[in-house]
Amino acid sequence: MRLLNQHQCVVLVGETGSGKTTQIPQWSVEFAATTAGKSTGVACTQPRRVAAMSVAQRVAEEMDVALGQQVGYSIRFEDCSGPQTVLKYMTDGMLLREAMSDPMLEHYRVILLDEAHERTLATDILMGVLKEVIKQRSDLKLVIMSATLDAGKFQQYFDNAPLMNVPGRTHPVEIFYTPQPERDYLEAAIRTVIQIHICEEIAGDILLFLTGQEEIEDACKRIKREIDNLGPDVGELKCIPLFSTLPPNLQQRIFEPAPPNRPNGGIGRKVVVSTNIAETSLTIDGVVFVIDPGFAKQKVYNPRIRVESLLVSPISKASAQQRAGRAGRTRPGKCFRLYTEKAYKNEMQDNTYPEILRSNLGSVVLQLKKLGIDDLFPLDPQLAKMLIASCNHNCSNEILSITAMLSGESTSQTWAEFPLDPQLAKMLIASCNHNCSNEILSITAMLSDLGAVMAEFPLDPQLAKMLIASCNHNCSNEILSINAMLSGEPNEARKAADEAKMRFAHIDGDHLTLLNVYHAFKQSTTSTEFTSKDYYINIRKALVNGFFMQVVQLHPSTCLDHKPDWVIYNEFVLTTKNYIRTVTDIK
């Protein structure tokens, strides 16, 4: 509190179990209530929805208040807060959306950015936005909190803000490595779960990290089958999946107690099989054993060919340490790393590559412009225009050098003007190029009227423009339905969804097939308007407005029965082979 009184920004490094996520926000509420300021609200951001919800519930219990009154949370599609709320936990993306309607964030006296070491896209943008806000609001206090933060870099970014270290209350964790690399980490992980459950004589639950929903669901089925085959003499093992698209009520199952022990002494346990969302913030009581295969899914974007891929990649040392720390939150534990010690020391990166350097920044540029941040390129408008255009001709490095000479600076100095990393500048340039082509930005990289409207929608620029264009073609309801279906993947019923697509397939492509499926669900397929030719033409016009930069021509050698000259596509999937998904015929 003394540091907050003396400084506008404080960087706080707290070890796992230090209470930074639950206690510091409560103290901030007291600080806001007892010091002079325009407002008394406190916001604490979390990178994940399940963390925001569970921590808000925990803090509400500690403060002995009902969740949604003095303490609440805000996540996408759900706001559990009210006029009385003084402490709000929220995802970093939700605070960013609030900043678009309230650029000065007048409602808040203290803002805490938790888990800053994860370097999510929204957290990085918030740091840049809040740095400008605190210059204009002397009463606003900012706390950057993390378990493993590169403190020097962030202190420097926030004008040498003071650093505070908070020791944790973690218990010792014994680390085990495999002597040789595992050929199949999923098989090894399932085998390790069974061995722990059978052989470990101490009670305690298991936390297994895997990469995605399909892998998690497959692992849960196989673990259950293996345990059932062992007979009634083995203790019960309850398998609980955890991933980001799981409904909130099912996510809360991770806090359920383990099954009771058998009368014959068989130990009852639960095993939580999770993606990396269980790495931080969450304290799952009872976890003693952690199994870490060393992999996670990462989003990677190539701005040159506009392809975004979700690739299984090795984790960083920082993530490995966070995973191991999950075993020592409440008592001594064990971490089984399914990779060699040599791989950990010599092959893993120290920190996770920031999301902002491997993401499509089209929406980011739109949000920054909407927030009033116009100087993305600290250059003369004509030079900025030339630099943006260079991306189309694969010569951005050369044009940058020319730009630097015309500006009287070195290339390295020009790159240094861009925040965080030179790679970010290249990503921003490509995104501005795309947005200029989409008429979202003017030729001088200023936000157009169309771009200002699009920024209000929490959608990718292509989907937002398609939605706006639908008004001109009298098909807004239909484009809304297509947008919603493109934004949601029915992973739990993928087979049924594919069968529905086959039943209601439309000759002109997948977007119209999705609409057929939706209308069949709504029992409106008998509508004459729905089956009219002009109806489909208008929808395709709206689709082209949004996806006109995602147009491909089929190769003459294709063997399709229906062979359109051109199609638009929703996404380019880069796996072992390259595919375009969700395509529609255009003329």
DSSP 64-90: T--BTTTEEEEETTEEE--TT-SEEEE
- Please give the pLDDT value at position 510: 79
Q: What is the mean pLDDT of residues 240-251?
A: 87
- Apex 373 CA angle, 360 and 51, nearest 5: 55
Whether 332 and 405 have beta carbons less than 8 Å apart is answered as no
**Tens of pLDDT, residues 131-177:** 989 999 999 999 999 876 566 777 888 888 898 888 776 789 999 99
Q: Count of residues for the chain? A: 587
Instruction: Judge whether 331 and 321 are in contact, CB under 8 Å.
Output: no
Give whole-number Cα distances, 416 to 89, 157, 222, in Å.
Answer: 34, 13, 51
Give the model's confidence band at 258: pLDDT under 50 very low, under 70 low, under 90 confident, else very high. very high
CA distance 496 to 504: 12
Tell me which DSSP letter residue 544 carries.
Answer: H
Q: Check residue 275 and give its pLDDT.
A: 93
CATH, range 2-166? 3.40.50.300
This prediction's pTM: 0.77
Q: Which residues lie closer than 8 Å to 586 by C-beta, 6 or more apart?
A: 540, 543, 544, 551, 564, 566, 567, 568
Question: CB within 8 A of 587, min separation 6: which ones?
Answer: 564, 565, 566
Residue 386 CA to residue 389 CA, distance in Å, equals 5
Within 10 angstroms of residue 229's Cβ, the number of other Cβ atoms is: 9
Cα–Cα distances (Å) from 118 to 17, 314, 511, in that order, read: 17, 15, 35
Neighbours of 86 (CB within 10 A): 20
Q: Is the pLDDT of residue 197 over 80?
A: yes
Distance CA(15)–CA(171), nearest Å, equals 11
For residue 194 the two structure tokens come to 């069974």
Domain-wise residue ranges, the chain: 2-166, 173-354, 361-454, 461-586
Mean pLDDT computed over 533-548: 71
> How does the average pLDDT of the chain come out, rounded?
80
Cross-sheet strand order for the sheet of 108-113: 78-80, 71-75, 87-91, 41-46, 108-113, 141-146, 9-14, 163-166
pLDDT at 120 over 90: no
Q: Which of 94, 100, 142, 147 is nearest to 119 (CA)?
A: 147
Write out pLDDT tens, residues 373-425: 765 554 444 544 544 454 444 444 444 454 444 444 443 343 333 343 445 55
Gap between the Cα atoms of 385 and 408, Å rounded: 18
Q: Which residue has the tokens 């204009």?
A: 136
Task: Judge contact between 298 and 313, C-beta under 8 A.
Answer: yes
Q: Which CATH architecture has domain 173-354?
A: 3-Layer(aba) Sandwich (3.40)
Q: How far apart are CA 34 and CA 24, in angstroms?
A: 15
CA distance 375 to 313: 34
- State mean pLDDT over 343-350: 93
Give yes or no for a contact between 294 and 337, defined as CB atoms under 8 angstroms apart: yes
| Spatial separation of the C-alpha atoms in residues 68 and 459, rounded to whole Å | 27
The pLDDT, as a whole number, for residue 425 is 54
Q: Is 288 helix (H, G, I), strand (E, B) or coil?
A: strand
**2-166 against 173-354: fold identical:** yes
Look at residue 587 and tell me whether its pLDDT is greater than 80. no
Specify the 3-state DSSP secondary structure of 279: coil
What mean pLDDT comes out for the span 269-296? Answer: 90
Average pLDDT, stretch 194-219? 94
CA 417, distance to chain mean position in Å, is: 27
pLDDT of residue 432: 55
Residue (of 120, 62, 130) closest to 91 by Cα position: 120
Tokens of 160: 């040498």
For the chain, what percent of residues have pLDDT higher than 70? 76
Share of the chain above pLDDT 90, in %: 34
Residue 531: the pLDDT is 46
